[in-house]
Amino acid sequence: MRLKHALAVSLLCSLACQPAAAREAPRKQPNILIIVADDLGFSDLGAFGGEIDTPNLDALAKSGLRLTGFHTEAACAPSRAMLLTGTDSHRAGLGNMPESMAPNQTGKRGYEGALRPDTATLGERLVSAGYRTLFSGKWHLGVRPEEDPHARGFQHSFAMLDCCHNHFGLGLSTDRSKMSAYSRDGVTVTSLPRDFYSSDYFAAALIDQLRTTRAEAGGAKPFFAYLAFTAPHAPLQAPPEAIAKYKGRYDGGYDILRKQRLARERELGLIDPLVQAHHAVDTVSWDTLTPTQKQTSARKMEIYAGMVDRLDQAVGKVITELKAEGEFDNTVIFFLSDNGAEGRDPPPKAGIPVPALETLGTAQSYVNYGPGWAQAGTAPFWRFKTFASEGGIHTPAFVTGAPVAHPGTISGRYTNVRDIVPTVLDIAHVPLIRGPFEGRTVQPTEGLSWSGLLANDARVYPPDTSIGTELFGSRSLRQGDWKITDISDGTWHLFNVAQDAGETHDLSATEPARKAALVAAWKTYASQVGVVMPDPPTHPNPPRDHD
């Protein structure tokens, strides 16, 4: 009896002598939901200055931390590779888009056109930490079975394997080398529902995965879900009712819309009221268009708005599911666009008639909305998708959930898509393994955690850190407030982007030493990550003027 009493007293003493933190119950791991929009402009959401009806995303953004200094690569696959691995796209295997490889890049290390085996995805890291891992949407990181999301850490997946497809599912292929192939849990999909629409179905598939795995796990395991929309990527297609909702909304044209968006961004505190917007490029004044051209162009923007609206509704269904199951309060949500708005609107091919107005937006219509509307979405920034100027790589993003210490605020700190891996691992209380991962050597995680940013708006990157980019020969390097930009014409421009977010004043002549230092830093970056400049140039949308 005395021995039992002594043991009990010893145990109580040891517990009492422990720090309070050590006696706390183990921390509950949060759910993680990452939502990615495809080619969404900086100001398309209402919470970022837009007029499109996006109440679900607006509510999330306004209840969290809006990131107005968030940056990606200039196109989708490289950005998505960086999102999942935390490393530069050239290290990850996406030095160029798989469909755009130049002859001198083909076969080179870092230009495999798919995630390299020596990368560790966020799915792989979290599944090894006990998470149930779910994916639904656009993959674009490899089409072979060993490159499928199901082979890269996602226990359940529904994937559009390549870059884009008919949003209504028309022309499905079972050939994975085609752009119209899908897989489910690694198995090639042979049919899609008759009522298939990309945003609706991707959300529904994720909801089904959430329900299935919740039942399997008995609610004991947290989830990591990656919902990767292909909207509003071209072709512009939406259900008729979604398009009709915006009829007449854009008859005033893209010049007026751009001014309205800029005014709203200033009103919301998203940009400095004194920032000078870069003038729109590669487009013509709305007033010079014929009535028929205006009508057709406005209809394209109506379709685009309908696509964004429908994407928001899809997100709303996922949020409703989380709330119904009591999961919402323990879920941290990240939202971002994978690059700036898409400015291309290729002219009709010879022999193919211009589509009639009433067919625009249907499954039989393949159009985009062009540089005028795109630059209403990217303003005040320079250019749009495919360029390393701010319009191509400065995108909307927000985080909402318990880690955000000051909900409803805005941070203009520089952040990068490669930061999401270390940030999520911090939030999930999962150590970031920087050496070999599960017995294999992996590329380094280069991003930095946002823990200080989410807590007290602390700077993420020291001002002397160099962060380089390159895609299609368009290049940039950011160092603190300074940036050099090459829009793929071989000319470096120097900007103080803290004072000149629109990249309107090239300071090359007045700061030659600084420019030379940044160019040298870019060359060091290019050597470290293995950049191979495309020869001949492969830029899909070469600049038509020199701004």
**DSSP per position, 54-113:** -HHHHHHHHTSEEETTEE--SSHHHHHHHHHHSS-HHHHT-SS-GGG--TTTTTSTT-SS
Condensed to tens digits (0 to 9), the pLDDT of residues 97-127 reads 988 999 999 999 999 999 999 999 999 999 9
Give dist(CA 498, CA 218) in Å, integer. Answer: 49
Q: If you count them, how many residues does the chain have? A: 547
25, pLDDT greater than 50: no
The residue-averaged pLDDT of 352-356 equals: 75
Cβ contacts of 401 within 8 Å, gap of 6 or more:
30, 64, 331, 332, 333, 427
Handedness of CA 160, 161, 167, 169 (dihedral sign): negative
Q: Is 245 helix (H, G, I), strand (E, B) or coil?
A: coil
**Percent of residues, the chain, with pLDDT higher than 70:** 93
Condensed to tens digits (0 to 9), the pLDDT of residues 164-175 reads 999 999 999 999
11, pLDDT greater than 60: no
Q: What is the pLDDT of residue 246?
A: 98
546, pLDDT greater than 90: no
Q: What is the pLDDT of residue 351?
A: 61
Please identify which of the residues 17, 71, 90, 140 carries the catalytic annotation.
140
Structure tokens at 538: 């492969």
Residue 26: asked if its preceding bond is cis (omega within 30°), the reply is no
Give dist(CA 321, CA 102) in Å, integer. Answer: 45
465, pLDDT greater than 80: yes
3, pLDDT greater than 60: no
User: Between 500 and 13, where is the model more confident?
Assistant: 500
| Poorest-pLDDT segment among 342-351, 363-372, 419-428, 438-447 | 342-351
Give dist(CA 336, CA 313) in Å, integer. Answer: 16
Condensed to tens digits (0 to 9), the pLDDT of residues 178-188 reads 999 999 999 99
| pTM passes above 0.75 | yes
Give dist(CA 365, CA 349) in Å, integer. Answer: 13
Which amino acid would we find at residue 337?
A: S
- Classify residue 364 by its DSSP letter: T
Cβ contacts of 181 within 8 Å, gap of 6 or more:
143, 161, 162, 172, 173, 174, 175, 188, 189
Cβ contacts of 311 within 8 Å, gap of 6 or more:
37, 199, 229, 231, 232
Q: Is 71 a catalytic residue?
A: no
HEC profile of 274-286? CCCCCCCCCCCCH
Which residues does residue 484 pair with via DSSP β-bridges, in sequence order?
Answer: 477, 494
Burial 169-183 (b: 16+ CB within 10 A, else e): beebbeebeebbbbb
Q: How many CA atoms lie within 13 A of 47 on its CB side?
A: 25
Please identify which of the residues 71, 76, 150, 163 carries the catalytic annotation.
76
Q: What is the pLDDT of residue 350?
A: 62
Give dist(CA 469, CA 17) in Å, integer. Answer: 52
Query: Rg of the chain's alpha carbons, rounded to an integer?
Result: 24
Using alpha carbons, select from 112, 230, 101 the residue that is nearest to residue 161: 230
Q: What is the pLDDT of residue 345?
A: 80
Cα–chain center distance at 357 = 31
3-state helix, strand and coil shares in percent for the chain, rounded to the nearest 5: 35, 15, 50
Cβ contacts of 216 within 8 Å, gap of 6 or more:
132
Q: Is 76 a catalytic residue?
A: yes
The residue-averaged pLDDT of 431-438 equals: 91
228, pLDDT greater than 90: yes
141, pLDDT greater than 80: yes
Q: What is the pLDDT of residue 547?
A: 66
Taking residue 409's Cβ as centre, other Cβ atoms within 10 Å add up to 13
Which residues does residue 31 pair with via DSSP β-bridges, in sequence order?
Answer: 331
Residue pair 69/414 in contact by the 8 Å Cβ criterion: yes
Give dist(CA 188, CA 190) in Å, integer. Answer: 6
HEC profile of 137-206? EECCCCCCHHHCHHHCCCCEEEEECCCCCCCCCCCCCCCCCCCCCEEECCEECCCCCCCCCHHHHHHHHH
Structure tokens at 89: 């796209």
Condensed to tens digits (0 to 9), the pLDDT of residues 48-82 reads 999 999 999 999 999 999 999 999 999 999 999 99
19, pLDDT greater than 90: no
The residue-averaged pLDDT of 24-37 equals: 83
The residue-averaged pLDDT of 471-493 equals: 97
Q: What is the pLDDT of residue 218?
A: 73
User: 272 exposed, middle or buried (CB, 10 Å; 0-12, 13-18, 19+)?
Assistant: middle
Structure tokens at 513: 């030493």
272, pLDDT greater than 80: yes
The residue-averaged pLDDT of 141-156 equals: 98
The residue-averaged pLDDT of 505-510 equals: 98
Give dist(CA 214, CA 208) in Å, integer. Answer: 10
Domains and CATH numbers, the chain: 31-529 (3.40.720.10)
Structure tokens at 329: 């309060």
17, pLDDT greater than 70: no
Condensed to tens digits (0 to 9), the pLDDT of residues 246-257 reads 999 999 999 999
